Chains A and B, each alone.
Chain A
Amino acid sequence: MKTMSFSKIWNKTKTFFSKPANIILLFFTILLTATVIYPLISLVLDSFTVQSISEAREINEIWGTAVKKGDFTFAQWPNLLFNANSEYSLYFFWQPLYKSVLMALLACVIAVLGGGVLAWLITRSNLPMKKYISAVFIFPYIMPSWSIAMFWENFFKNTNIAASNGTGILQALTGICVPEFLVYGIVPCALVLGIHYAPFAYILIGGILRNMDANLEEAATILKSSRFKILRRITLPIVAPALISTILLVFASSISSYTVPAFLNANNSFTSISIAMRGLIITAGKKGQGYVVAVILLAFSVLILTINNWFTRSRRSFTTVSGKSGQVSKFRIGNKPWIKWVVASIIVLLVSFFAVFPLVSFVLESLQETSGNYASMTFKYWFSPENFDVRITAQGQSSQGIFHNYTIWRAFGRSVLVAAVVALVAGTFGILIGYAVSKNRRNRIANYVSSTAFLPYLIPALSFGAIFFSLTFKQGFQWLNVASTNNEWSAVAICILVASIKFLPFASRSGTNAMLQVSGEIEEAAIITGCPWWKRMTHVLFPIQKSSLISGYLLPFISCMRELTLFVLITSSFSLITNVLQFYNVYGMTQMSNAVNLLIVVFVIGVNFLINKLTGASIDKGIGG
């Protein structure tokens, strides 16, 4: 009897493992638990742990306890949140949090309004020049968010503002000096983030509008509703779930954005929650409190995810019966043909201003002898071998012209390496997860894997960095800490690890969408001919969904190239090209930082263009579907 049951279990196990999808699921269950769930738990625990001797001293002073480094404590939370002592909590937590929430809300409004209105115009109206507009409109999303921030500063800075570094383009051209609150602080931060995420909203909402059955709107037209009523009563309610998802995702990304506030904060008037958190962790030596902030940002995301699920799970949620979409009667802008051209021209101007003009501004800024002085053009910041700043040279780094600058090129090389490896890992994992999930729909393990793979998306980049930053202090992981090893390869290694997980959501989403679109019979037909699994993947499934799967590789690559927030805790100032950019900016070398920015943006757009031309994949396909 006993042997019988053993052989039964053995056979069952064999059957289970004979399906590659099951092996993949098991592998990712373990991997994602270790890389997503475990760090999350450990971050929460860290916020309850005394992180250093100075922290222990402070806690003991206030609470009259006798904790040592590494002890469990509840004190970090009240110390950060409710410390009335010279209004510590107010300045280091509540105000930054309030400002960040406000900034994120503003950014949401701008992104969703801008992206949504444009998506509607592109899909539902007779707007001319759609091709140009939709191609160029994506640019601000491909660009690093802070490059728009830099452009903003380049354009609006002026001599009326004390913290300003020279004359901006606007002042140089027209003499107009805009007030300080438009150049630095919460307003430009929100605007820049809004502009950065507007294409994201455009892609998401546009995707829904494009897939939405046009008959739904036509049915209302025939029943004598006005255009406005259709928009209000039919289109908006149906797009609402996507709209809410977009708002929540933009909010989650904006609230924790570190780079944009860091760049548009010349006079330290605007401390965002992310800046406060980095300050606590890096400069103030209060890691424990920093982790508390990370946990709170995380809680925001969990809340956002819950709200999102609640909205999308209502019984009104609609099942699309795909109809004859695409045959929509287009909304006519204005009753005279010239009106639509005026509207289109305004949009083209606006889009070009935020998408194309920044590139021009980076070129101009990098060519000025004195920043802001347009009479002093020079190529020396590109070609000169001399060092421009002794403070930088004193740190053993180069401040030579771009083409002689080893600091820049080494960091650039490391960035490309990180981005390439991350793209390879995340993209491949994404496809595998997509495959396994699509083969096991409504299976509990598959659900676990697919939602854990999506979780990193919702964890704010800075918190995510913080999780792994805290890991590098643990026994056995210290070789990953660049500050203690003083070896840039430590940074490269941990960046690859962190970014592969952080950017997995993009890849797994596009992988799952792509795999779900391939009917099961296609693979089954190959199974019956005796085709082995890896061959089915490489010869059948991959070629069928080539373009959207390649998007799964492209998206992590591009995101990684331009990422700073995620890496800022776990890298040195010279590890990656984005670090170097920020470093030069901190040292006031605007020409260099603009040139580096140009380098990144042109590289990213170039790669995107090349991949698009070669394979037909493009980033909007990855998120849109």
Chain B
Amino acid sequence: MPRIELINVTKKWGKFVAVDNLSMIIEDREFVTLLGPSGCGKTTTLRMIAGLETPTSGKIIIGDRVVFDSDKGINVSPSNRDIGFLFQNYALWPHMTVYKNISFGLENLKWKKEQINARVEEVMKTLQISEFRDRYPSELSGGQQQRVAIARTLAPNPQVLFMDEPLSNLDAKLRGEMRTELKRLHRDTDSTFVYVTHDQLEAMTLASRTCLINKGLLQQYDKPLRVYNHPTNLFVADFVGSPTMNFLKAKAKKVSDTVINLEVLGLNIKYTSNEPVKLTSENVIIGIRPEFLLIKDNGAIEGLAYSTLPSGMETTVKINLKDTILSAVQFGAVDYAFDQKISFDIIGKSIVLFDEESKVSIALGACEVLK
């Protein structure tokens, strides 16, 4: 079944390297998101798998068929790869009605008329667009266009579905709804989804696995929560999570295999790693997720409330610690006065230590502030 394998795929535009030696495996029926900032090569990767873009070198296998191999000169056309593709701007044909847009692909498959009709009605019903069957795309709202585009993509029952930032043109509320439905759709269609997004929240909530790409290079390819809790490097840690992780430069001194003394902003911290650490230099960066800064009375560290951003369910508190601004998240609505004194602790066992030079994560552990 449709397992997708990329082996050393590279794409260059002249001297610019869009995708650099990418290898990854997308298992059958997975929901994989390709995540990264704009221009990082994620869309190019997706288009290469779909066959819309020709890689400069490498090999792509869909199911048990080699669809691209630069060495053997194989390049299967996108129409023969048995895939569906949902475009960011929907790419609905403006001169065709909703019905025509959906039935067009089925006609190409040489289905019988009744079959086509039945299938179009079926997908229109699933996506609740039956009432628009005779309308033209310009007469639909963004959300409706989106549904038509999904219906068109789903109609031929593709085994693999590629989606290129399909929700980015929708407003926040609709985006939330569509997210829920896409996840449902993944289960109902029983096919493999590959989904490109720059929205880390989308990637986290939808995917069974997330592939982070930066500047054409694969950064991490893991389950979303694993990416969140065990980032392999500073880029991943910074990109995933909102509010973003707090990063503090520190001087490290090794005490034992698992214990390191850290000096940061005049504080002495005893860092206990979960596993033995190899410290290559004394310059490190501590990464602390906002939820691991627990604001409480008599906390070990004292700072000032720089700004408080309550959103109802939770509150983001920006803490000024000796002119470094840290983010903390507190459940429920609280409001601190500006520059009010706040004390807090660093909790949990998921505090990340990065090497400052290589930006690679070297340890995961707990912090204890020494008086």
Give residues in A with beta carbon < 8 Å to B: 213, 215-216, 218-226, 229, 233-234, 237-238, 240, 315-319, 321-324, 327, 329
- Residues in B with CB closer than 8 Å to A220 are 93, 104
Question: Within the assembled complex, what's the spacing in Å between the Cα atoms of A221 and B77?
Answer: 9
- A220–B103 alpha-carbon span in the complex (Å): 11
Chain A residue with the shortest CB-CB distance to B106: A223
Given A224-B79, A224-B105, A323 contacting B136 (CB threshold 8 A): no
- B79 contact set on A, CB distance < 8 A: 221-226
Considering the chains assembled together, what is the distance between the CA atoms of A5 and B52 in angstroms?
67
Residues of B within 8 A of A237 (CB): 93, 95
Residues of A within 8 A of B95 (CB): 237-238, 240, 316, 318
Q: Known contacts A222-B78, A223-B105; is A213 also within 8 Å of B52 by CB? A: no
Cross-chain contact A323 with B88 (CB below 8 angstroms): yes
Given A229, A233, A322, A323, which contacts B87 in the complex, CB threshold below 8 Å? A323
A215 touches B104 (CB 8 A): no
Chain A residue at minimal CB-CB distance from B155 = A223
Contacts of A319 in B (CB 8 A): 94, 138
Per a CB cutoff under 8 Å, which of B84, B88, B94, B105 touches A318? Answer: B94
Contact pattern, B 246-281, Cβ under 8 Å of A = 1, otherwise 0: 000000000000000000000000000000000000
- Chain B residue numbers with a CB within 8 Å of A321 are 89-90, 169
> Which residues on the B side are within 8 Å of A222 (C-beta)?
50, 52, 78-79, 83-85
Chain A proximity of B18: nearest CB distance (Å): 11
**Residues of A contacting B50 in the complex (Cβ-Cβ under 8 angstroms):** 222
Interface residues of B (CB under 8 A from A): 43, 47, 50-54, 77-80, 83-85, 87-91, 93-95, 104-105, 108-109, 136-139, 152, 156, 169
Given A224-B156, A321-B90, A323-B87, 5 other A-B residues pairs in contact with their CB atoms under 8 A: A215-B87, A222-B85, A225-B104, A316-B95, A317-B94
9 residue pairs of the A-B complex, CB under 8 angstroms, read A218-B52, A218-B78, A220-B104, A222-B52, A222-B83, A316-B95, A322-B89, A327-B52, A329-B52
C-alpha gap A238/B95 in the complex (Å): 7
Q: Are B105 and A324 in contact (CB under 8 A)?
A: no
**Nearest-CB distance from B135 to chain A (Å)?**
9
Q: Could you tell me the distance in whole angstroms from the C-beta of A607 to the nearest C-beta in chain B?
A: 34
Q: Known contacts being A218-B85, A316-B138, is A233 close to B104, with CB within 8 Å?
A: yes
Interface residue from B53, B93, B169 paired with A216 (Cβ < 8 Å)? B93
The closest CB in chain B to the CB of A218 belongs to: B52
Given A315-B136, A324-B43, does the pair A215, B89 have CB atoms closer than 8 Å? yes
B90 / chain A contacts, CB cutoff of 8 Å = 321
Task: Please report the C-alpha to C-alpha distance between residue A323 and residue B94 in the assembled complex, in whole angstroms.
Answer: 14
Tell me whether chain A's interface is mostly helix, strand or loop, or mixed. loop
Please judge, given known A-B contacts A316-B136, A317-B94, A327-B52, whether A223 and B156 are in contact too, CB under 8 Å.
yes
Q: How far apart sit A319 and B140, CA to CA, in the bound complex (Å)?
A: 11
Q: From residue B4, how far is it (CB to closest CB) to chain A in Å?
A: 15
A323→B139 CA distance, assembly (Å)? 19
Select from chain B the residue with minimum beta-carbon distance to A316: B95
Using Cβ atoms and an 8 Å threshold, which residues of chain B touch A238?
Answer: 93-95
Question: Chain B contacts of A215 at CB under 8 A?
Answer: 87-89, 91
For B87, the chain A residues whose CB sits under 8 A away are 215, 218-219, 323
- Bound complex: CA A240 to CA B77 (Å): 27
Residues in A with CB closer than 8 Å to B83 are 222
Given A222-B78, A222-B79, A213 and B104 touching (CB < 8 A)? no
Could you tell me the distance in whole angstroms from the C-beta of B187 to the nearest C-beta in chain A?
Answer: 23
A215 vs B93: C-alpha distance when bound (angstroms): 10
Q: Are A327 and B53 in contact (CB under 8 A)?
A: yes
Contact B108 A223 (CB under 8 A): yes
Q: How far is the CB of A205 from chain B (nearest CB, A)?
A: 16
Residues of B within 8 Å of A223, CB to CB, are 79, 104-105, 108, 152, 156
State the Cβ distance, A69 to closest chain B Cβ, in Å: 56
- Shortest CB distance A46–B (Å): 44
Contact present for A224 and B138 (CB under 8 Å):
no
Residues of B close to A322: CB separation below 8 A: 89
How near does chain B come to A422, taking the closest CB pair, in angstroms? 39
CB distance from A348 to the nearest CB of B (A): 25
Using Cβ atoms and an 8 Å threshold, which residues of chain B touch A323?
A: 87-89, 91
**A315 vs B83: C-alpha distance when bound (angstroms):** 31
Contact partners of B51 in chain A: CB under 8 A: 329
Q: How far is the CA of A213 from the CA of B169 in the complex (A)?
A: 16
Residues of B within 8 A of A316 (CB): 94-95, 136, 138
Complex formed: what's the CA distance from A327 to B50 in Å?
A: 13
Taking CB atoms, residues of chain A closer than 8 Å to B138 are 315-319
Rounded to whole angstroms, the CA-CA distance of A220 and B153 in the bound complex is 10
Contacts of B91 in A (CB 8 A): 213, 215-216, 218-219, 323
Measured CA separation A223–B87 after assembly (Å) = 13
Measured CB to CB, the closest approach of chain A to B299, in angstroms, equals: 46
Q: Is the CB of A219 within 8 A of B85?
A: yes
With a 10 A CB-CB cut-off, give which of B53, B84, B94 has the most chain A CB atoms.
Answer: B94
Contact of B89 with A213 in the complex, beta carbons under 8 Å? yes
Minimum CB–CB distance from B174 to chain A (whole Å) comes to 16
CB distance from A208 to the nearest CB of B (A): 13
| CA–CA, A285 and B51, complex, Å | 70
CA of A233 to CA of B96, assembled, Å: 10
- B119 to chain A: closest CB distance in Å? 13
Question: Chain B CB within 10 Å — which of A224, A233, A319 has the most?
Answer: A224
Looking at the assembled complex, report how far the CB atom of B108 sits from the nearest CB atom of chain A, in whole angstroms.
4
